[in-house]
Structure 1
Amino acid sequence: MKTIEWFRIIAFSLIGLVIMLWGQPLLYRSQFGIFATKKIGSIEGWIVNFYIPGAMLVFGVCVASTLLWYFLAARAQPRTAGDRHQWQLVWMAILFLPVLSIGLALYLYNYKNEAVLSRATLFILDAAFLYWFITATSSPKELMYAPPGAFTLRRLPLFRD
């Protein structure tokens, strides 16, 4: 377990949290395009009672999934290409948890079917950042290329170990 991997996981998780709890509510407050919410009386009340709890559910599950992947991958000892392929399947199985959390957040924190498309879009982008991007840039050495697209990201100077 490298310090730089932990630093990336923590830093990118905090960036994701700021985007979810500060940046995305600004989009709803602006009432621009798909973020316009006509049926909602108080936009602030809707954000606090419906958007934030759903976003926190998605955030928590995505970060927990990322940590689960990291701890499993750190203990892995793949010896063959077949072993690495099995670990890609594990990564995809863990991906099911963030996807499930998006559906659950949209179902549990729904108000008159308002802003479902925009919330679903934002939650998908959040999950992509919080699970895919973080695991693609911060997986342990033995499985650093297991997440899809990790090879391309790891070639960038910022993510080279």
Structure 2
Amino acid sequence: VLMYTDKIEIVSPGGLPLGVSKEEYLKGYVSVLRNPTLGNVFFRLKYVEIFGTGVRRILEAYRNADVKPNFAISDNAVMVTLPSVEYQIPLDVDEQAVLEVFAANLVLASSDVSAITGFSRAKTIRLLNSLVEKNKLVKGGKGRGTKYSLT
């Protein structure tokens, strides 16, 4: 467990338990207690009321928040990033202008954002990457198929 000013990262080595798909995990359908000691500590501290509801409860806690949790799942680890709903990473004027383009929950390519904002291609990509790093946007696809959307 790593704690920062703007987020908490929880890393579980070993990936998902056998037989649990990424989709099932992200929807909170299946749960296997991987670390009984840590689970017991959280239970005793009353941070959890019941085992096996963590993902669903995380998603519910962030349902109306501007920031959303991130679940990075690989074969070797699961990392959950819980951004602070109180701490807001400051955005500069250009980042705010780019973010406003996505206000209608659009999914756009960098060329679309560049055309709307009037920024150069290089500046637009730099701003989009900065917003992805700050968990304001999600990047999907690769190469010419790369699209961006709100988190």
TM exceeds 0.5? no
Normalised to the residue count of structure 1, the TM-score between the two structures is 0.32
Structure having the higher strand fraction is 2
Structure having the higher helix fraction is 1
- Flag the structure with more relative contact order, 1 or 2, with Cα contacts below 8 A and sequence separation at least 6: 1
Normalised to the residue count of structure 2, the TM-score between the two structures is 0.33
